[in-house]
Amino acid sequence: MTDPRDLFRRMHDVLVTKDVSVADEIFAPDFYSHPLDGGIDRVKASWTRILAEYPDLRSTIEDMLVDGDRVAARATVTGLPSGPGTMFEIIRVADGRIAELWGASTLNLRG
C-alpha cells in the first residue's frame, strides 16, 4: 500500500523536479481537484503555466497530518515576486493514488 504522505510529498516535489508527468502516476484516473474544478489535465496545465512563470518556486512542507485515507498539510511557498506564502491542502487517497484535492492559499501568483 502506498503511504499517503509519500504521495503528498511527490505532488509537492514537482516544484523542484519540474516534471509534471508525475501527475499521471500519483493521481487516480478519476481524480478531481476542487480548487481547479477539474481533473489531471487541468492540474498538469496549471503546473506547467505556474512553473514557466515562476521557475524559482519551491514548497516546504511545514506540517502534515494523516487520518486514514486523508492527508492535510501546510506548506510555505517561496520564489514568488510577492514574497513567501502559505498553502493549505487536503488530499484523499484511494487505491494508492490521490483521488481528490482541496486547497487554499495566501499566494499571489500574479506578483
pLDDT, tens only, 69-111: 999 999 999 998 889 999 999 999 999 999 999 999 887 765 4
Angle at 81 between CA 6 and CA 13, to 5 degrees: 10
Count CB atoms within 10 A of the CB of residue 20.
Answer: 17
Q: How far apart are CA 48 and CA 64, in angstroms?
A: 25
**Structural domain boundaries enclosing 92:** 4-105
User: What is residue 52's predicted lDDT score, i.e. its pLDDT?
Assistant: 94
**Does some domain include residue 110?**
no
3-state secondary structure of 31: strand
105: amino acid identity, one letter: S
**Does some domain include residue 20?**
yes
Phi first, then psi, for residue 58 (nearest 5°) are: -140, 150
**Does some domain include residue 111?**
no
We report the CATH number of the domain holding residue 24 as 3.10.450.50
Q: What is the pLDDT of residues 92-103, one digit of tens each?
A: 999 999 999 999
The model carries a pTM of 0.91
